[in-house]
Amino acid sequence: MLRYIGWIWPQQAQRQFSTLKEGKPPAILFAAIANPVPQYSGTRHNVGNWALDQVQKGRSDVPPFKSSRTYRGYSASEPSELNAVFLKSTQSYMNLQGRPISKAWSQFKKAYPNHSAAMVILHDEIQIPLGKIQIRRQNTSARGHNGLRSIDSTIGPVYTKIGIGVGKPDNIPVDKHVLSKFCSDELEVLTGESLPQIKAIIDDMLQGKYIYDKQ
């Protein structure tokens, strides 16, 4: 059973949001924000990269990730049948995600001029427990997440979020917690509980659900 947590409703801001335009079908940029790999692979901060890896491996219509000349600084999967691009951050630090995301978003919109472009950011979320996933609409706050704050300072909160719960630390600072690696028991929770939800959400989004919702 999917365990989504409810929507967040921040104060409205004036931004250039993604909207579904008449005669223009959806096209979606899914981007995971993370610290450089392989140094930080397997850490909580890089759980978005892990999630997209697992999604790709489970779908025959999503090709393997590879370096991209179009989306520099990312490992990209560009499934032609889905009108979507999947990006894993590979070079930039989490607190410097704004500029590369802005460039990737511009490139994506140029590649799909006859579509209603939307962007979805996958990120770690300490505000929700391990095993739970949260969808958050366009124009919701960064909640102090440095990667999201960097993006918001560059292009604004004009994207949908998939927050992947990693839980709050008990006895260590937050920065050490998000840079720590998952233990084997936690990986079982991610695989058995988080991943099915993420796959279902992405399936829904590819059908146009959630991605144009805003507050």
Count of alpha carbons within 13 Å of 62, Cβ hemisphere only? 20
The pLDDT of residue 13 is: 36
The pLDDT of residue 15 is: 59
Kindly report the number of other CB atoms within 10 A of residue 180's CB atom: 16
The pLDDT of residue 215 is: 84
Domains of the chain, start order? 25-206 (3.40.50.1470)
The pLDDT of residue 80 is: 85
Count of alpha carbons within 13 Å of 90, Cβ hemisphere only? 16
Q: Which residue numbers are catalytic?
A: 45
Q: Is the pTM of this model over 0.75?
A: yes
Distances (CA, A) of 156 to 87, 175, 197, 212: 19, 24, 27, 15
Q: Please state whether beta strands 160-165 and 66-67 pair in parallel, antiparallel, or not at all (unpaired).
A: unpaired
* Positions in the chain whose pLDDT score sits under 70: 1-15
One-letter identity of residue 119: M
